[in-house]
Chain A
Amino acid sequence: MSLLGLCLLMTACKDKEYAIPEAKDALQNDCIKRTLGPNVAGLNIEFAYAIALPATRGKIVSAQVEASIAGEATTYLEHRSYYTNGSGEDVGVAIGDPSVNEGNVTKVNFTKDTNAVTLRYFYVIPKSAQGKEVRFTFSAKSSNGETISYAMGPYRISKMDMVLDLPVKNADACFISVADMAVYTEKDAPANADKIDLVYLYRAISGISFNHALVSPGAGAEYLPDITLPPGLNRVTKIRKTWNLRDFHLARLQYGVYIDDLDFEQLDMTGSPDYVINLKSEAGAWVETADGKYRAYIYMNKVEDSKKSATISMKRYTLK
């Protein structure tokens, strides 16, 4: 009896021998989306598209991606397959000619005998796609006429606009327009008076922490010290200071935090002041324009006390 038990125990513990899985005898493909966060016009949606077939079934002759909305002209499908070398560098091996965009289709024709490849696809989101959904069909063709395809999406394209790294300087380029997503100098400000929402200023005032500030032109004079505004600037913009909100798109730092359409839709700016002072590097501010047309998030990429200047980036959402 005990001998039988021992036998059973030994049988149960025996490892299964590993066998290399057999490849399917067909053209195969797979795809992953590599980018995270909201899909903002001007940015990429990146995919990795893998294709393979056994040598007995020929070679890959072409790969293509069809987008439901044509991407910007800079959209492309890689014509190189990458491997990582011993130094950790990605080395590209060209497998065909650079991709060609024809309408909604981006195509690569293979010129090298290739049986397995992973190609990156960079879809540059066009402004025309804002607020819409976009789908992709990845497909490949082999030399024996076999075709295969892989559908991805739908992906919602954000209604947000974005602008990066606008330099602002005290008493110079200091008039910020959310409507234009631009910064004007004192010379240009009067011509755009109805679109200027905020004034950037730097003041080192003893006894208080004023420093880098964003103040609406219609705010009280105590928050616009020693400033004579160009004629016509009088908008009262609601603004609220934030901290620890380093949006990945704006800050381009290691924090995986994204401001999305929903944040702007749910933002309640009721009772917010018309100024924020003592803004530090990596701080930010929610903004709602006086006409209620736009909401925005302004991020302080960099502040320089000695130069009385800063670099700002902005995400903007149109309400009306």
Chain B
Amino acid sequence: MALILQSTTMKHYLIIILLLISCSWIGCRKETPIDEDGLLITTRAECYVSNFELLGADFQTVRTKNAVIDTIACTVDVTVFYGTDLKHLYPQFTLVTDAKLDPKITGFTDFSDLANPRTYSVISGNRQVRKTYKVNVTVQPR
């Protein structure tokens, strides 16, 4: 009889200990870090453009070939078809995991000022590294 009582008390102690451990685990968990855009801030420090696309007013590509991305010099060199309407171009960046772009792409963008190329900044997943890329557009010569 005494043995049974002891076993029941042990069980109760075990449950209480488990509850305490789970409470402490919940209490110690850090809040998920979120940036001003509501995006998750991660531990990744990588910061680069991995692909670049440029669409025309008809949402078809205007590139004559793949864009050349220099992640050291932070440049994107893209050649577009002869006759491309440079005032209505839709850039699309592919970035490394967790990174984000500034300014954001919200619609058609004017790339017609070839002497002053547009710049876009890539911000790493941990939001600690920022690299500014210059997009150099060249029109295919006739």
Contact = CB atoms under 8 A, between A and B. Distances in A.
B83 to A, nearest CB: 4
Contacts of B13: none
B87 A243 contact: no
Interface string A158-185: 0000000000000000000000000000
Contacts of A283: 58
A240 B57 CA distance: 7
Interface in B128-142: 140-142
A210 B85 contact: no
Nearest to B110: A271
Contacts, number: 46
A208 B58 contact: no
Contacts of B59: 243-244
Contacts of A276: 83
Interface string B25-65: 00000000000000000000000000000001111100000
Given A272-B88, A273-B87, A210 B82 contact: yes
Given A240-B88, A273-B87, A278-B81, A222 B58 contact: no
Nearest to A284: B58
Contacts of B57: 240-242, 272
Contacts of A242: 57-58
Given A210-B82, A242-B57, A243-B58, A222 B88 contact: no
A275 B87 CA distance: 13
Given A241-B58, A242-B58, A207 B87 contact: no
Contacts of A275: 83
Contact of B81 (A208, A240, A243, A272): A208
Contacts of A209: 81-83
Interface in B79-111: 81-83, 85, 87-88, 110
A209 B84 CA distance: 11
A278 B58 CA distance: 12
Among B81, B82, B87, B110, residue most surrounded by chain A Cβ atoms (within 10 Å): B82
Interface in A4-29: none
A208 B142 contact: yes
Given A240-B57, A242-B58, A222 B85 contact: no
Given A240-B57, A241-B56, A242-B57, A208 B83 contact: yes
Contacts of A208: 81-83, 140, 142
Given A271-B88, A272-B88, A243 B60 contact: yes
Contact of A273 (B82, B85, B110): B85
Interface in A206-252: 207-210, 222-223, 240-244
Contacts of A100: none
B135 to A, nearest CB: 19
A277 B142 contact: no
Among B60, B81, B82, B83, residue most surrounded by chain A Cβ atoms (within 10 Å): B83
Nearest to B87: A271
A299 to B, nearest CB: 13
Nearest to B142: A208
Contacts of B56: 241
Contacts of B81: 208-209, 278
Interface in A120-159: none
A110 B9 CA distance: 98
A262 interface: no
Please name the 5 residue pairs, one residue from A and one from B, whose CB atoms are nearest each other, closest first: A208-B82, A243-B58, A277-B83, A241-B58, A273-B85
8 contacts: A208-B83, A210-B82, A243-B60, A244-B58, A271-B87, A272-B88, A275-B83, A278-B81
Given A208-B142, A271-B87, 14 more contacts: A207-B142, A208-B81, A209-B81, A209-B83, A240-B57, A240-B85, A242-B57, A242-B58, A244-B59, A271-B88, A273-B85, A276-B83, A278-B81, A283-B58
